[in-house]
Amino acid sequence: LALRMNAVKRSRAVTPLFVQTGKDVLLELQADVPKKFIALQWSFNGSANLVSFSSGGVEISDSFTGRVEVCNQSYSVKLKNLQKSDSGVYSAVLIKADARPVITEHHVRVQVSPVTLTVHLLSSSSDSCNLTVSCGTQELHHINSTLTCDNKTCRQEGGERSKVTTSGSTLSIYLVKDTIICNHSNQVSWRKDNEPFDLSRYDKNKTQRILSLLQPHLVTVSLLTIRIK
């Protein structure tokens, strides 16, 4: 009984596979297949059937026609030209008269999506400011970090520096000299967004002083224009 329970646990382990966009992935069984069974099916995300092996032959889903190669001896499947929408869990289900165990699962992850860096001002003075920085993906994963900056440098004071998303990619915020960087990566790809830091952009007091100095000149120009007319 103990040996059987261990075998079941090993067969349900999800194997991560990282693939570049446009490349192929080989889905292999990681368990022995008995001689007698009704069918063996590969499915995508638990619902969409990919390939079915049975005594009647091999049946490939219409939505994957032209993108699949199969091996009848090993029941493996090669999925070609992967796109971002192909990311997900591919499961092999063995259909028998008395059970339908999942014998293999592969979690395929294609290249990461682009990210967006957003910077907001929390507070400022004449020589420093506090910023909140948000780094987000198209899948709505995000992290927030707090920065304190002066005329020379920025430093991270709080919030998150990085986290691993539910898809296994890593989202991070970090500083390189005077640039704030948002990075999204996994084992096969990375995407980033960045913004150079300029204290004058976030210094409200400096902006108000500049406007107050310009205001009299703007009025004078307006009056001169009226007199000419």
Q: Give me the pLDDT at residue 204, please.
A: 56
Which are the contacts of 36, defined by CB distance < 8 A and separation ≥ 6?
96
* Coil/strand/helix, residue 211: helix
Q: Give me the pLDDT at residue 143, please.
A: 97
Q: Give me the pLDDT at residue 223, please.
A: 39
226: pLDDT strictly greater than 50: no
pTM comes to: 0.59
Please, is 133 exposed, middle or buried when counting C-beta atoms within 10 Å of its C-beta (0-12, 13-18, 19+)?
Answer: buried
117-146 residue pLDDT tens:
999 999 888 888 899 999 999 888 999 999
Domain-by-domain residue ranges, the chain?
2-109, 115-199
- Average pLDDT over the chain, rounded to an integer: 81
Cα separation of 199 and 151, whole Å?
A: 6
Q: Give me the pLDDT at residue 58, please.
A: 93
Q: Give me the pLDDT at residue 12, please.
A: 59
8: pLDDT strictly greater than 70: no
Q: Give me the pLDDT at residue 116, please.
A: 96
> For residue 107, which of 166, 49, 61, 66 has the smallest C-alpha distance?
166
CATH number, span 2-109: 2.60.40.10
